[in-house]
A and B are shown apart, each in its own frame.
Chain A
């Protein structure tokens, strides 16, 4: 029985991590209708920034996390202005080709600068090991992930639903032409949203180094997971991807624990079943544009 809870806990932590990594993609895909397969590259950038700060410059781990966010958001903002915006009105195939090209460039660049071997971020001792909670083994690091990601999700939901920026963003997505007519600076809203999504990915990359491992192939290896989260969750809100992430995280961990021989198939099976049942994802609706 206690094992069940440990598995559940690990699954939730894994799902939360997937959510932070992928929710930026949900934003670009769902809200801006842009297929950005290079999303993982921003996550990787954040992870490496954090690793360099902690391992080489001796920064504390918790101080490096915000910087991972800032760095990835910065890179995202620059690339959005320089490259991405030219492709907003192009076909999805062009966008896919462009962003996949970007992925390969990022892989080669990181391989060249940082080397190809996997790196780890030195963690403070307080985050290592497990706490025994009524017989349930709770990993401290995973607990921290749940706390950070939980707070982030709540904050995101609030910003989207309650603030002026949130309503502008929703308006810009629903009908960009009308939004421009109402005086909303749509390109600016999109640019900001894109950068923020990249920042979240960067933070996710830094957090995931310990659990998923960080190497130059990160964007390729996890591209498929991000896409699953977004397709299963539907990309019109952030609640969908959030629940999808949790479902996939728990399904993946539990599947691997209880049926290790079938383990890797479990999440794909979940995905196929959900997509047959609801082709637009759990919380999907038809594309806004």
Chain B
């Protein structure tokens, strides 16, 4: 009897505990459904770290401004550092998708990183938002890839068109010998020669050696109207300094190129040597719209420096995710989200942009800018606009 009496309450307690556990589990599940997780994979260390930091900052800024709930769901960002090494990107993307069950993967500082994650996006039907990498082929590698940054072809073809139309007849090219450099060169040459221009000298600089002296001497001797230059972001400053040292600026040779070289992030460090360089690009911190002024002011206030084109690509990337969720009413089905993103149009700090419904790539204005001094700081001041430029790397096909 005693035993039986004792057992009953125990069983009751057991049931109660099981019930409580069950309801906690149910609650947790309900909460999990209320959260939309975004796996942000960026290079936060290593040579590409400035890209990662800008995008991370911009995403934080956007979420501060717009709140972290959208369509009744709480947005959670999981930031991972891949150091721009594709092997890491792939591993991190897999962990995010399998363990953390993220609904989006986003970021991707360099092309190989974006490509490494592409098969995972396809397999798991998770939208991959590319916020930095700029090679044309990326969006063709998975139907779940949507890009908010740019392609190199966009800026290189436009600067080619512009140069041919603006009295530049002979151009010498100096590009770094790696995939983006070769892309830039090919697209520039294609449009520039089609417009009647002539490339008189073509030099490919090795990636590793930044002493431009002999190459610049060659440029000088070729006596072109302009030098088309594309070097990795960090080397732009060295190039401009040595360009001025060798007196190429005084001999009337202009510097033209895609705008990566004159990134807002680095411009002030280059010093006055950069003055007068004409580049084509998607964004300048000096873009004269009310929205951009507000964006630049908020970014400066929060992080102490000015945003570059990577920051604006990250800002638009998270905006795209928010808007897609609004459209699906908070549903996180990958196909529905990508469908919602296609054809989406909005006003970005860089100007009006949209997502091409066919290629899921970005369509945006490309601006021709010149480096000028504004209030004692160097800025890319826009003076001509080519509207709604699609990626030339794909329209060809």
Contacts and interface: CB of A to CB of B under 8 A. Distances in A.
Report if A and B associate in a common complex.
yes
A257 B206 contact: no
A260 B218 contact: yes
A257 B218 CA distance: 6
B49 A111 contact: yes
Interface residues of B, number: 35
A118 B214 contact: no
A116 B208 CA distance: 16
Chain A facing B: main interface SS? helix
Interface in B201-229: 203-204, 206, 208-211, 213-215, 217-218, 221
A117 B234 contact: yes
Interface stretch (A67-75, A210-218, A279-287): A210-218
Contacts of B208: 221, 264
A254 B235 CA distance: 21
Interface string A128-161: 1110000001010100000000000000000000
Given A120-B241, A128-B244, A213 B217 contact: no
Contacts of A120: 237, 241, 269-271
Contacts of B245: 128-130, 139, 141
A137 B49 CA distance: 38
B168 to A, nearest CB: 22
A117 B217 contact: no
Chain B facing A: main interface SS? helix
Nearest to A249: B211
Contact of A137 (B45, B238, B247, B271): B247
A264 B238 contact: no
B217 A10 contact: yes
B138 to A, nearest CB: 24
- Most chain B beta carbons < 10 A, residue from A7, A108, A212, A256: A256
B321 to A, nearest CB: 27
B214 A116 contact: no
Interface in A182-217: 210-213, 215, 217
Nearest to A140: B245
Contact of A261 (B48, B204, B211): B204
A275 interface: no
Interface string B182-204: 00000000000000000000011
Given A129-B247, A130-B245, A118 B211 contact: no
B266 interface: yes
Contacts of B234: 117-118, 213, 215
Nearest to B250: A129
B30 to A, nearest CB: 41
Interface of A: 3, 6-7, 10, 14, 108, 111, 115-120, 122, 128-130, 137, 139, 141, 210-213, 215, 217, 221, 252-257, 260-261, 263-264
15 contacts: A7-B214, A108-B45, A117-B234, A120-B269, A120-B271, A129-B244, A137-B246, A141-B245, A211-B211, A212-B238, A252-B209, A252-B211, A252-B214, A260-B215, A263-B206
Given A3-B217, A210-B241, A252-B211, 17 more contacts: A115-B49, A117-B50, A117-B233, A118-B237, A118-B266, A118-B269, A120-B241, A120-B269, A129-B245, A129-B247, A211-B211, A211-B242, A213-B210, A256-B214, A257-B214, A260-B214, A264-B208
